[in-house]
Amino acid sequence: MRERQNEPIAAGDDIRSAPPPNNLHDGLATVWQQVASLVPKDIAGKADQLAFEALVRLIYTMRSREAKAAHFARLQSLLAEFGMTPAARARLCKL
């Protein structure tokens, strides 16, 4: 995947190596670690942590079977933002 020139990710700033925020309970922290390992390299950094936390919370909600239709729509959108769908990865490769 080609680096996006307008959105550089500094060395050591990759969301994949960021620890879960302290405000997340153990279940959410586990989802954070699982999902962070799936984010493509150089896609997200510290500036994206709030959006990533929203993604983590939505995945946790989905897994706990409490998600509503609106949750799934937002989840799909955030998955795409983080390059975690086939179509999103195809678009990112073109950048």
Is it the case that residue 79 has pLDDT exceeding 70? yes
- Comparing C-alpha atoms, which of 48, 40, 52, 49 is closest to residue 2? 40
Number of residues assigned to the chain: 95
Q: Is residue 60 part of a domain?
A: yes
At residue 1, the pLDDT reads 47
User: How many domains does one find in the chain?
Assistant: 1
Name the range with the highest mean pLDDT among 11-15, 20-24, 88-92.
20-24
19 — pLDDT class (breaks 50, 70, 90): very high
55 inside domain: yes
- 53-63, pLDDT tens digit by residue? 999 999 999 99
- Predicted confidence at residue 13, as pLDDT, reads 86
**pLDDT score for 22:** 96
**Is residue 1 in some structural domain?**
no
Q: Residue 79 is part of which domain span?
A: 18-94
The encoded tokens of residue 55 equal 């993604």
